[in-house]
Chains A and B, each alone.
Chain A
Amino acid sequence: MKKILLDKVSLIILLPFFLFSCENDYNLNTKQTILECHVYEGQVPKIILGQTLEAFPQYAFNIEYYEQPFYINEYNSNIEISVTSENEVYNSFEMKFQEIPNYFNSTDIYSTKILYFSDENFVPEEGKEYEIEIKEIPEYDQKYTYGFIKLKSKAYIPERIPINHEISEINGSNYGEYLVEVSFDDPSDERNFYFLTVSLIHSDVSISIDTINMEQLWLETGLWLDKPYYPSVWHSNITNRVVENTGNFDPTDPDYFDLPSALNGVLLNDDDFNGQTKELLFEIYEYDLSMDYPTYIVAELLHLSEDYYNYYDAIEKQRDSQSDIFSEPAQSFTNIENGVGIFAGATISTEYIELPILILQ
């Protein structure tokens, strides 16, 4: 009797441990499909597919990839892309490619291609939401597929926000410094997100304001191409910092040179100026100006969807924190169902400003 009782007690003791042991631990998913696409109002989007790389592959070294790490040909004939918005359906996507030279060496030997899909009819409009679905369809007379998991996502194109500008020469400066004020009115209805860039366009040849193609320039900036004219990397200081530092130039002040973003602009949300007019000041220095031909300032305001903002906000956070053990690690943002990446929309408002040719005194 005592033995039976002891056995029962032992069972009671051990049972909870068994129950707990049945719980699943965390799974590490190391191979996922990437979908990347900026959906800009009025521009045919490029849909890029890829595949993530394992951080710790079986062999000790990873080759530093510049080519698209996704064997797209494996699937291309079988992948079906469709984008829908309200009653519109776009499903005539074609595979195209874009030449990408290696920025370490501009010879064609190291150039590669970025493959993407686009449909010339798919021109996004502001205020609309687009839903994308990418799936694999079996080949003729075949039942099996290659295992491509269906991806889904949505992108909203916010409404265009007009921008205004004012330009003034900094008083008392002998170096041809200009202050550019860019302003826009933030709608009060909801939380809004922005990306603002101010680019200096100057050239060794004469160009006119009408011939500046920003999309082409941004593309080439991304490729690090050495062209006769190029947009300068954004390197002005922003808003209050400029105001505070004007007239008290201190080159060691970290605020003065601290770029607010490693991207070529600044990401903003309207938490601090909801429903108000937002003004941003940029300072242009003498050494940014051309002495032979006019210099142009191009201000672009991207009114972003929330996902777009979160994606690039996460990039910034990750860049700053990844190697810093005192920082909280930052996760990459994704809005792709069953995959990773971004499918997000924006509208772009652009202002062109011509500066006079600099004459040194």
Chain B
Amino acid sequence: MNKPQIKIIKIHIIFFLLLICILFTKNAYAGDTLRDTISIKLKDNTLLEVFDIISKESGYSFAFSRKLIPEEIKFTKEFDNKSIQDILFYLLRGTGINYKIVEEQIILIKKKNLKRYTISGFVRDNNTGEALFQANIFDKESFKGTVSNQFGHYSLSLPEGAYTLVYSYIGRNPIKKQILLDRNIELSINLEPNIELEEVIILGTERKEIIKRKDPLGKINVAQEKIETLPIIMGEPDLVKSIQLIPGIQGGSEANGAIYVRGGGPLQNLFLLDNVPIYNCFHLLGLFSVFNSDIIGNTQVIKGGFPAQYGGRLSSVVDVKTKDGNMKELKGKISVGLISSKIFLEGPIIKNKISFAIAGRLGYYYIYGQLLPNEIGNDNNIRNYNFKDFNAKVTHRLSENQNLYFSVYTGNDTGEEIDRSRYEDPVDMSFQFDELIDGQNWNNLISSLGWGGKISKKTFGNIQLSTSQYNYSGYVTDSSYYRTTSDTSHSSTNTVLNNEVLNYTGLASIQYQILPQAKLSAGYSYTILNLASKNKQTNHNEYYTSGSNARFDTVFSSYDYKTIENSGYLELQFDLWNSVNISPGVHLSYFQNDNYNNLLIQPRITSSWEFIDDIILKASYSKMGQHIHLLGATRIKQASDLLVAALEKAPSEESDQYSLGFSYLRFKQLGIHIDAYYKKMDNLINFSEGASYFRDTPNWEDKIEVGTGEAKGIELLAEKTIGQFTGWLGYTYSNTTRKYENINFGKPFPYVYDHRHYFNITGNYRFNEKFNLSVNWLFHSGNRSTIPSTFYYNSLNRTDGRMYGPYGYKMVFYNEKNAYQSPAYHRLDISVNYNRIKNKTDRKWTLSIYNVYNRKNVYISNYNENWAHIVGGLGYINRYIDEKKLIGIIPSISYTISF
């Protein structure tokens, strides 16, 4: 180092020391000035009042911005001969306010580098002691906040300051807490349920929003109470039917309960019941889901901006948590309806220690179906159908901060149609009897054992072991018995379709508050997944007199996969500035299926920025992967569709989704949210042209095409969250295509459920504390089908007989695959509830009408021909689109007693 450089450094040091001296001098001046002592007595005084009192006593005046001063903090304290400096230190502690003295004036300013502190604890129901999942905790002024996890635990990081925190949950009275945040604070809150007497007050204040201000992009909250405010179907509030009313989440067609999220397929949605995947979550032709609303606590639905913890599906996560059960007293609910009845019980096994919750449903639609008049029931409704299900959960509160739980669900569906006919011919003494039995049944059995709790002040953990089993069996038996004078014969064709899924999962996760501004979430799971199917047809012919007997089997599909998946995730949540949040993360998944191994690295990021007060911009990117495919006919969605594992010829599906959201929350009662998304999907599978699992080789992987999908759209949700009338208007404009090299000449074509417009309006009006009315109207563009647009007769067949075939000479030509659009789908549902409290029991009558104006919505559109014979070889062909329609108007009534 040369001399001039040393000189420059010396000058810098001198200058720096000088600066420090000046600063110290300034502070010393301030400190000296405020050492005057005064005596004041405060009693429930706000800060503004306290400043007035100090001014009068000391002669100092205060200068400040009104926005800076927390108005709701009140002080009760006596200061006797205390210096003004000490009094101010006490008053401004934790408020984030500093002061400086200019002549005789105390100028209050906002501290520049505020420390951040964390407030954490549990949110529970005061009456039942149950943890409240997805409870809202937010600062009243800035609306900065968080939500509680499934154990009711929350953790909120805020800059040092005074806050009014609001704790709220649908169906509970919100609580406001004044907090002086000058250190990390633990605070658990018990929320009181709404009671009818207070309803008038609550209606005016309680927000019933499905998208919360601070929710990541694409996340939706559906509380049990929310489901019950929507129109009820057949006397039964249903979760999946409810979420189909949210923009971006669409239903398929009548009798198809599956959901289609942002252009994805039905198996691209991960349904979790207490963290356990459920593989078929529908009852009764999709009208009901397996989620019994009585035992559901809260549900979060994610359609974009996926947190890193979720994996295994491309399009959405429906994470359903069941109630823990009442820790304090026995409660219950009994409902009797025309189509199903159900019972729910919850209570303590050991008071405040161990609780239980059980719920059971029994359907008897087959009775009601027979009673429906022909006009309604004939071809439009399925009659002979039945279901039952049962949920149970036991929760053991090991300590204030730790829970152990065991949850189980089992459900069963059966449906069978029998068609018999007989014919006797007295002339030739013959007799024929035919019978066609078409049936299906499926069942789910899932269970989980888990622990969740606080490991340390900054760490929360969860461990769970679970199993999920799904079996489907469909059968068609077509048999005939034929007797003549010479012989008696019997022939039968028995087709059996089945699907078996068995899943064992072990998972562990933690959330760790690294810094007040940064939270880390991490987890690992190990899954064994077995998928098996053996679909076959047995033909049996027997001639009793001649003694010939023949039987043979045709196997349509046969596989037995035993797969293993190791997955883990890591996510960081940063509160960078007051208005900016960002959460980068990664989900890793390593899948093994025999010789096929695949490691999928799935980066994710979500962010939000409140760039103007109450106007929030959100953005996200998610890479998702899934190792199972759903393989079925594209023209008709069936429960028998095959669940197959990824392998070399059908690699794991992947998607990249980019979304951008905009929330406008400046209206007091109305929240407006707009999301736009673009999603690209790879390795989707589809049967090759002309193929089905009933034909050719039993190896499904030899008759499929692997291709891509693209979905883009824009969604609008305008939600009225407060008042006597609550509800929302949803509209989605979307465009969804698929592309396979050997289908549709390799050109992209619309997806079957490419609903260009999807609109719904949903509302609930409370006339008074007894009556409320729910209405829902849903309209969407029709489904897509492949219907011939032109045809021609192949003349080559008549000039070269080599190519002649019985049907081969007519060439049907489709301009585009799925170019035909069925008529638009729409329906109106209404339900009226009448509530009455009598003898400490809540009694409710519900009258509901599904599809009020009996709209004949199309279930499937197919091309068909009729040959109309005239004379000789002359005739006409009537070509038409055969549109099958299911499910017309279904009125129902139910009665519920809650005690």
Contacts and interface: CB of A to CB of B under 8 A. Distances in A.
Interface stretch (B163-171, B257-265, B280-288, B856-864): B856-864
A312 to B, nearest CB: 6
Contact of B804 (A32, A37, A263): A263
Contacts of B808: 262-263, 315-316, 319
A48 B813 CA distance: 18
A30 B790 contact: yes
Interface stretch (B591-599, B769-777, B868-876): B868-876
B795 A55 contact: no
Contact of A319 (B805, B815, B863): B805
A46 B691 CA distance: 33
Interface stretch (A12-20, A84-92, A185-193): A12-20
Contacts of A318: 690, 811-812
Contacts of B790: 29-32, 52-55, 340
Given A13-B672, A254-B554, A322-B863, A329 B799 contact: no
Contacts of A254: 539, 552, 554
Contact of A264 (B750, B803, B819): B803
Interface in A235-282: 250-254, 261-265
Interface in B524-554: 539, 541, 550-552, 554
A264 B793 contact: no
Interface string B714-744: 1010000000000000000101000000011
Interface stretch (A102-110, A138-146, A283-291): A102-110
Contacts of B713: 20
Interface string B776-806: 0000000000111111111111111111111
Contacts of B745: 331
A327 interface: yes
B74 interface: no
A116 B798 CA distance: 12
A302 B635 contact: no
B515 to A, nearest CB: 36
Contacts of B690: 314, 316-318, 320-321, 327-330
Contacts of A251: 550
A302 B802 contact: yes
A300 B807 CA distance: 23
A217 B804 CA distance: 12
Interface in B798-847: 798-808, 811-817, 819
A322 B811 CA distance: 11
Contacts of B455: none
- Which of A29, A54, A319, A326 has the largest count of B CB atoms less than 10 A from its CB? A326
Interface residues of A, number: 92
B795 A36 contact: yes
B807 A262 contact: yes
B800 A219 contact: yes
B2 interface: no
B792 A52 contact: yes
B800 A218 contact: yes
A3 to B, nearest CB: 12
Given A323-B864, A325-B862, A264 B795 contact: no
Contact of B687 (A20, A252, A302, A328): A328
A183 interface: no
Given A320-B690, A327-B690, A52 B791 contact: yes
Interface string B865-887: 00110001111111111000000
Interface string A322-351: 111111111110100000111000000000
Given A64-B875, A326-B692, A55 B789 contact: yes
B297 to A, nearest CB: 34
B691 to A, nearest CB: 6
Interface string A40-76: 0000001010111111100011111110110000000
A320 B695 contact: yes
Contacts of A69: 792-793
- Which of A62, A66, A105, A197 has the largest count of B CB atoms less than 10 A from its CB? A62
Given A26-B750, A55-B787, A61 B877 contact: yes
A26 B875 CA distance: 34
A165 interface: no
A222 B800 contact: yes
Given A9-B664, A17-B733, A50-B792, A325 B860 contact: yes
Contacts of B879: 55-56, 62
Given A250-B550, A323-B864, A325-B633, A340 B877 contact: no
Interface string B383-427: 000000000000000000000000000000000000000000000
B756 A314 contact: no
Given A48-B795, A63-B877, A66-B793, 17 more contacts: A26-B815, A30-B815, A34-B792, A50-B795, A53-B790, A53-B791, A55-B790, A56-B881, A69-B792, A102-B873, A219-B800, A221-B804, A312-B803, A315-B811, A325-B862, A326-B694, A328-B689
21 contacts: A9-B615, A17-B716, A34-B792, A55-B789, A55-B790, A114-B798, A114-B799, A218-B802, A219-B800, A221-B802, A222-B799, A223-B798, A263-B808, A264-B805, A317-B691, A324-B694, A326-B635, A327-B692, A328-B635, A330-B689, A341-B792
4 closest A-B pairs by beta carbon, nearest first, are A317-B690, A104-B873, A221-B801, A222-B801
Interface of B: 539, 541, 550-552, 554, 615, 633-636, 662, 664, 672, 674, 676, 686-695, 713-714, 716, 733, 735, 743-745, 750, 756, 786-808, 811-817, 819, 860, 862-864, 867-868, 872-881
